[in-house]
Structure 1
Protein backbone atom coordinates (compact mmCIF):
# COMPACT_ATOMS: atom_id res chain seq x y z
CA UNK A 1 0.00 0.00 0.00
CA UNK A 2 1.45 3.33 -1.08
CA UNK A 3 0.56 6.53 0.79
CA UNK A 4 0.93 9.53 -1.50
CA UNK A 5 -0.29 12.25 0.91
CA UNK A 6 -4.04 12.16 0.22
CA UNK A 7 -4.88 12.12 3.94
CA UNK A 8 -2.75 15.20 4.51
CA UNK A 9 -4.44 17.04 1.63
CA UNK A 10 -7.89 16.14 3.01
CA UNK A 11 -6.94 17.42 6.47
CA UNK A 12 -5.58 20.65 4.98
CA UNK A 13 -8.77 21.21 2.96
CA UNK A 14 -10.88 20.57 6.07
CA UNK A 15 -8.89 23.15 8.06
CA UNK A 16 -9.32 25.72 5.27
CA UNK A 17 -13.10 25.12 5.21
CA UNK A 18 -13.30 25.61 9.00
CA UNK A 19 -11.27 28.84 8.84
CA UNK A 20 -13.42 30.18 5.98
CA UNK A 21 -16.67 29.40 7.78
CA UNK A 22 -15.45 31.16 10.95
CA UNK A 23 -14.40 34.17 8.86
CA UNK A 24 -17.74 34.31 7.05
CA UNK A 25 -19.63 34.11 10.35
CA UNK A 26 -17.65 37.04 11.74
CA UNK A 27 -18.13 39.01 8.51
CA UNK A 28 -21.90 38.42 8.53
CA UNK A 29 -22.18 39.62 12.15
CA UNK A 30 -20.18 42.73 11.25
CA UNK A 31 -22.32 43.34 8.16
CA UNK A 32 -25.60 42.99 10.08
CA UNK A 33 -24.30 45.54 12.62
CA UNK A 34 -23.44 47.95 9.79
CA UNK A 35 -26.91 47.51 8.28
CA UNK A 36 -28.60 48.08 11.66
CA UNK A 37 -26.57 51.26 12.26
CA UNK A 38 -27.63 52.58 8.84
CA UNK A 39 -31.27 51.83 9.64
CA UNK A 40 -30.87 53.71 12.93
CA UNK A 41 -29.57 56.77 11.07
CA UNK A 42 -32.47 56.49 8.66
CA UNK A 43 -34.97 56.14 11.53
CA UNK A 44 -33.68 59.37 13.10
CA UNK A 45 -33.75 61.17 9.74
CA UNK A 46 -37.27 60.01 8.82
CA UNK A 47 -38.75 60.44 12.28
CA UNK A 48 -37.32 63.96 12.50
CA UNK A 49 -38.71 64.87 9.05
CA UNK A 50 -42.18 63.77 10.14
CA UNK A 51 -41.89 65.61 13.46
CA UNK A 52 -40.87 68.81 11.64
CA UNK A 53 -43.80 68.39 9.23
CA UNK A 54 -46.18 68.02 12.19
CA UNK A 55 -44.69 71.21 13.64
CA UNK A 56 -45.17 73.03 10.34
CA UNK A 57 -48.79 71.84 10.13
CA UNK A 58 -49.49 72.91 13.69
CA UNK A 59 -47.88 76.34 13.34
CA UNK A 60 -49.48 77.19 9.99
CA UNK A 61 -53.12 77.18 11.03
CA UNK A 62 -55.17 79.47 8.78
CA UNK A 63 -56.04 82.90 10.19
CA UNK A 64 -58.87 82.72 12.67
CA UNK A 65 -58.43 79.00 13.34
CA UNK A 66 -56.89 77.38 16.39
CA UNK A 67 -53.66 75.46 15.87
CA UNK A 68 -54.27 71.73 15.72
CA UNK A 69 -52.37 68.53 15.09
CA UNK A 70 -53.04 66.58 11.88
CA UNK A 71 -55.56 63.70 12.07
CA UNK A 72 -53.47 61.58 9.67
CA UNK A 73 -50.03 61.65 8.09
CA UNK A 74 -51.73 62.24 4.72
CA UNK A 75 -52.70 65.70 5.98
CA UNK A 76 -48.99 66.55 5.99
CA UNK A 77 -48.82 65.94 2.24
CA UNK A 78 -52.16 67.53 1.42
CA UNK A 79 -53.22 70.16 3.95
CA UNK A 80 -56.80 70.93 2.94
CA UNK A 81 -57.32 73.67 5.50
CA UNK A 82 -56.43 76.18 2.77
CA UNK A 83 -57.97 76.90 -0.63
CA UNK A 84 -54.67 76.09 -2.31
CA UNK A 85 -53.29 72.79 -1.11
CA UNK A 86 -50.24 73.18 1.11
CA UNK A 87 -47.57 70.50 1.64
CA UNK A 88 -45.61 70.17 4.87
CA UNK A 89 -43.61 67.15 3.69
CA UNK A 90 -42.91 65.73 0.23
CA UNK A 91 -43.77 62.14 1.06
CA UNK A 92 -44.62 59.98 4.04
CA UNK A 93 -41.47 58.16 5.01
CA UNK A 94 -41.77 54.52 6.09
CA UNK A 95 -40.42 53.18 9.36
CA UNK A 96 -37.09 51.55 8.39
CA UNK A 97 -37.09 49.28 11.46
CA UNK A 98 -40.25 47.33 10.62
CA UNK A 99 -41.05 45.15 7.63
CA UNK A 100 -44.35 46.84 6.80
CA UNK A 101 -42.96 50.36 7.39
CA UNK A 102 -45.94 51.47 9.48
CA UNK A 103 -45.41 53.94 12.29
CA UNK A 104 -47.12 54.00 15.67
CA UNK A 105 -48.56 57.36 16.69
CA UNK A 106 -48.45 59.61 19.72
CA UNK A 107 -51.88 61.25 19.79
CA UNK A 108 -53.33 64.12 21.78
CA UNK A 109 -56.66 63.94 23.61
CA UNK A 110 -58.52 65.02 20.44
CA UNK A 111 -56.98 62.31 18.26
CA UNK A 112 -54.44 64.52 16.50
CA UNK A 113 -51.00 63.11 15.73
CA UNK A 114 -48.34 64.77 17.92
CA UNK A 115 -45.59 62.40 16.83
CA UNK A 116 -44.50 59.01 15.56
CA UNK A 117 -42.40 56.15 16.84
CA UNK A 118 -41.26 52.78 15.56
CA UNK A 119 -43.21 49.65 16.41
CA UNK A 120 -39.91 47.71 16.53
CA UNK A 121 -39.05 46.05 19.84
CA UNK A 122 -35.36 45.61 18.90
CA UNK A 123 -32.68 47.02 21.15
CA UNK A 124 -30.82 50.00 19.65
CA UNK A 125 -27.07 49.91 19.05
CA UNK A 126 -26.76 53.70 19.21
CA UNK A 127 -26.66 54.84 22.83
CA UNK A 128 -25.37 58.42 22.62
CA UNK A 129 -24.55 61.44 20.43
CA UNK A 130 -28.16 62.10 19.48
CA UNK A 131 -29.33 65.48 18.16
CA UNK A 132 -30.05 67.81 21.08
CA UNK A 133 -33.83 67.58 20.73
CA UNK A 134 -33.60 63.80 21.15
CA UNK A 135 -31.23 63.61 24.13
CA UNK A 136 -33.70 61.36 25.98
CA UNK A 137 -33.15 58.62 23.36
CA UNK A 138 -30.04 57.69 25.36
CA UNK A 139 -32.31 55.99 27.94
CA UNK A 140 -34.21 53.96 25.32
CA UNK A 141 -34.51 50.20 25.69
CA UNK A 142 -36.11 49.67 22.25
CA UNK A 143 -36.52 51.62 19.02
CA UNK A 144 -40.13 52.14 20.09
CA UNK A 145 -38.80 54.38 22.86
CA UNK A 146 -37.43 56.79 20.24
CA UNK A 147 -40.46 59.09 20.02
CA UNK A 148 -40.42 61.92 17.48
CA UNK A 149 -42.97 64.30 19.03
CA UNK A 150 -43.75 67.96 18.46
CA UNK A 151 -44.89 69.83 21.56
CA UNK A 152 -45.82 73.52 21.19
CA UNK A 153 -43.39 75.80 22.97
CA UNK A 154 -40.36 73.55 22.43
Structure 2
Protein backbone atom coordinates (compact mmCIF):
# COMPACT_ATOMS: atom_id res chain seq x y z
CA UNK A 1 0.00 0.00 0.00
CA UNK A 2 2.88 2.39 0.65
CA UNK A 3 4.07 2.14 -2.98
CA UNK A 4 0.72 3.31 -4.41
CA UNK A 5 0.84 6.87 -3.06
CA UNK A 6 0.54 9.45 -5.84
CA UNK A 7 -0.81 7.04 -8.47
CA UNK A 8 -4.14 8.90 -8.79
CA UNK A 9 -2.32 12.21 -9.14
CA UNK A 10 -0.07 10.79 -11.87
CA UNK A 11 -3.07 9.32 -13.74
CA UNK A 12 -4.94 12.65 -13.54
CA UNK A 13 -1.83 14.46 -14.81
CA UNK A 14 -1.58 12.10 -17.80
CA UNK A 15 -5.27 12.65 -18.63
CA UNK A 16 -4.74 16.43 -18.57
CA UNK A 17 -1.71 16.12 -20.89
CA UNK A 18 -3.63 13.90 -23.33
CA UNK A 19 -6.61 16.30 -23.31
CA UNK A 20 -4.25 19.23 -23.98
CA UNK A 21 -2.75 17.47 -26.97
CA UNK A 22 -6.20 16.62 -28.35
CA UNK A 23 -7.44 20.20 -27.90
CA UNK A 24 -4.30 21.49 -29.59
CA UNK A 25 -5.01 19.27 -32.59
CA UNK A 26 -8.58 20.55 -32.75
CA UNK A 27 -7.43 24.20 -32.79
CA UNK A 28 -6.32 24.20 -36.43
CA UNK A 29 -9.58 22.83 -37.90
CA UNK A 30 -11.52 25.27 -35.71
CA UNK A 31 -9.44 28.15 -37.07
CA UNK A 32 -10.20 27.00 -40.63
CA UNK A 33 -13.91 26.75 -39.87
CA UNK A 34 -13.96 30.29 -38.48
CA UNK A 35 -12.05 31.64 -41.50
CA UNK A 36 -14.50 29.94 -43.85
CA UNK A 37 -17.43 31.53 -41.99
CA UNK A 38 -15.81 34.98 -42.19
CA UNK A 39 -15.31 34.39 -45.93
CA UNK A 40 -19.02 33.68 -46.35
CA UNK A 41 -19.84 36.83 -44.40
CA UNK A 42 -17.37 38.83 -46.55
CA UNK A 43 -19.13 37.66 -49.70
CA UNK A 44 -22.57 38.43 -48.25
CA UNK A 45 -21.66 41.91 -47.02
CA UNK A 46 -19.68 42.81 -50.14
CA UNK A 47 -22.54 41.77 -52.41
CA UNK A 48 -25.04 43.70 -50.27
CA UNK A 49 -22.95 46.87 -50.62
CA UNK A 50 -22.41 46.28 -54.36
CA UNK A 51 -26.16 45.83 -54.89
CA UNK A 52 -26.90 48.95 -52.82
CA UNK A 53 -24.50 50.97 -55.00
CA UNK A 54 -26.32 49.60 -58.04
CA UNK A 55 -29.66 50.61 -56.54
CA UNK A 56 -28.26 54.11 -55.88
CA UNK A 57 -27.15 54.48 -59.49
CA UNK A 58 -30.43 53.15 -60.93
CA UNK A 59 -32.85 55.12 -58.73
CA UNK A 60 -32.56 58.53 -60.41
CA UNK A 61 -32.54 59.61 -64.05
CA UNK A 62 -29.44 61.76 -63.49
CA UNK A 63 -26.62 59.86 -61.86
CA UNK A 64 -25.46 61.61 -58.71
CA UNK A 65 -22.02 60.57 -57.46
CA UNK A 66 -22.04 58.50 -54.29
CA UNK A 67 -19.56 60.24 -52.00
CA UNK A 68 -20.23 58.42 -48.73
CA UNK A 69 -21.48 54.92 -47.95
CA UNK A 70 -23.72 56.44 -45.25
CA UNK A 71 -25.87 57.89 -48.04
CA UNK A 72 -26.93 54.33 -48.86
CA UNK A 73 -28.73 54.15 -45.50
CA UNK A 74 -31.04 57.05 -46.36
CA UNK A 75 -30.92 58.60 -49.81
CA UNK A 76 -30.42 62.39 -49.35
CA UNK A 77 -31.50 63.04 -52.96
CA UNK A 78 -35.14 62.33 -52.22
CA UNK A 79 -37.65 63.63 -49.68
CA UNK A 80 -39.11 60.16 -49.24
CA UNK A 81 -37.20 57.75 -47.05
CA UNK A 82 -35.35 55.45 -49.44
CA UNK A 83 -32.90 52.89 -48.09
CA UNK A 84 -30.49 51.19 -50.44
CA UNK A 85 -28.68 49.38 -47.62
CA UNK A 86 -30.08 48.13 -44.34
CA UNK A 87 -26.96 48.89 -42.29
CA UNK A 88 -23.32 49.84 -42.78
CA UNK A 89 -21.35 46.64 -42.62
CA UNK A 90 -17.74 46.40 -41.53
CA UNK A 91 -15.18 44.19 -43.22
CA UNK A 92 -15.62 40.80 -41.48
CA UNK A 93 -12.04 39.73 -42.19
CA UNK A 94 -10.48 42.65 -40.29
CA UNK A 95 -13.39 44.09 -38.28
CA UNK A 96 -12.47 47.52 -39.67
CA UNK A 97 -13.82 49.77 -42.41
CA UNK A 98 -13.76 48.72 -46.06
CA UNK A 99 -11.34 50.08 -48.64
CA UNK A 100 -13.43 52.41 -50.78
CA UNK A 101 -13.09 52.07 -54.54
CA UNK A 102 -13.82 55.29 -56.41
CA UNK A 103 -14.31 55.97 -60.09
CA UNK A 104 -11.16 57.52 -61.57
CA UNK A 105 -13.14 60.25 -63.31
CA UNK A 106 -15.16 61.09 -60.19
CA UNK A 107 -18.40 61.09 -62.18
CA UNK A 108 -19.81 58.12 -60.28
CA UNK A 109 -18.06 58.58 -56.94
CA UNK A 110 -17.88 55.34 -54.96
CA UNK A 111 -18.35 52.33 -57.22
CA UNK A 112 -17.32 49.54 -54.87
CA UNK A 113 -15.57 48.25 -51.78
CA UNK A 114 -12.81 45.79 -51.01
CA UNK A 115 -11.46 44.13 -47.90
CA UNK A 116 -8.21 45.41 -46.47
CA UNK A 117 -7.11 41.91 -45.41
CA UNK A 118 -3.93 40.52 -46.95
CA UNK A 119 -4.75 36.92 -45.90
CA UNK A 120 -4.88 34.13 -48.48
CA UNK A 121 -8.47 33.05 -49.30
CA UNK A 122 -9.67 29.49 -48.80
CA UNK A 123 -12.44 29.74 -51.39
CA UNK A 124 -11.52 29.35 -55.05
CA UNK A 125 -14.85 28.46 -56.68
CA UNK A 126 -17.65 31.01 -57.03
CA UNK A 127 -20.16 29.09 -59.16
CA UNK A 128 -22.99 29.73 -56.68
CA UNK A 129 -22.52 33.51 -56.91
CA UNK A 130 -23.50 35.63 -59.88
CA UNK A 131 -20.87 38.02 -61.21
CA UNK A 132 -17.93 36.88 -59.09
CA UNK A 133 -16.01 35.04 -61.79
CA UNK A 134 -13.25 37.65 -61.46
CA UNK A 135 -12.50 36.41 -57.93
CA UNK A 136 -11.11 33.11 -59.21
CA UNK A 137 -7.35 32.88 -58.74
CA UNK A 138 -7.04 35.93 -56.47
CA UNK A 139 -4.22 35.57 -53.97
CA UNK A 140 -5.57 37.73 -51.12
CA UNK A 141 -8.89 39.06 -49.83
CA UNK A 142 -8.03 42.63 -50.77
CA UNK A 143 -8.15 41.49 -54.41
CA UNK A 144 -11.84 40.60 -54.00
CA UNK A 145 -13.32 43.86 -55.27
CA UNK A 146 -17.09 44.26 -54.98
CA UNK A 147 -17.66 46.78 -57.77
CA UNK A 148 -20.96 47.78 -59.34
CA UNK A 149 -20.74 47.54 -63.12
CA UNK A 150 -17.45 46.78 -64.80
CA UNK A 151 -14.29 46.90 -62.74
CA UNK A 152 -11.71 48.93 -64.64
CA UNK A 153 -9.01 47.46 -62.40
CA UNK A 154 -5.84 49.46 -61.98
CA UNK A 155 -7.52 52.65 -63.14
CA UNK A 156 -9.33 52.94 -59.79
CA UNK A 157 -8.23 54.87 -56.76
CA UNK A 158 -8.58 52.80 -53.61
CA UNK A 159 -8.88 54.90 -50.48
CA UNK A 160 -9.23 53.42 -47.01
CA UNK A 161 -12.18 54.95 -45.20
CA UNK A 162 -11.33 56.94 -42.07
CA UNK A 163 -12.10 55.22 -38.77
Pairwise TM-score range, normalised by the shorter structure:
0.7 to 0.9
Give the CA deviation at 1:21.
Answer: 1.6
Per-residue CA deviation, residues 10-44 of structure 1 (Å, 9 max, x unaligned), is 66445433321221111121211111111111110
- Count of aligned pairs between the two proteins: 147
Unmatched tracts of structure 2, length 5 or more: 151-163
Give the CA deviation at 1:145.
Answer: 0.9
Question: Following superposition, which runs of at least 4 residues in structure 1 exceed 6 angstroms of deviation?
Answer: none
Who is 2:76 aligned against? 80
Q: Which has the larger radius of gyration?
A: 1
Who is 2:117 aligned against? 120
Unmatched tracts of structure 1, length 5 or more: none
Query: Aligned pair 1:143/2:138, yes or no?
Result: no
Who is 1:41 aligned against? 40
Q: Is the 8 A contact 1:97 1:120 kept in 2?
A: yes
Segment of structure 1 superposing worse, 16-25 or 31-40: 16-25
Q: TM-score, normalised by structure 2?
A: 0.79
Q: Is the 8 A contact 1:95 1:103 kept in 2?
A: yes
CA RMSD of aligned residues (A): 2.1
Who is 2:157 aligned against? none
Q: Is the 8 A contact 1:54 1:69 kept in 2?
A: no
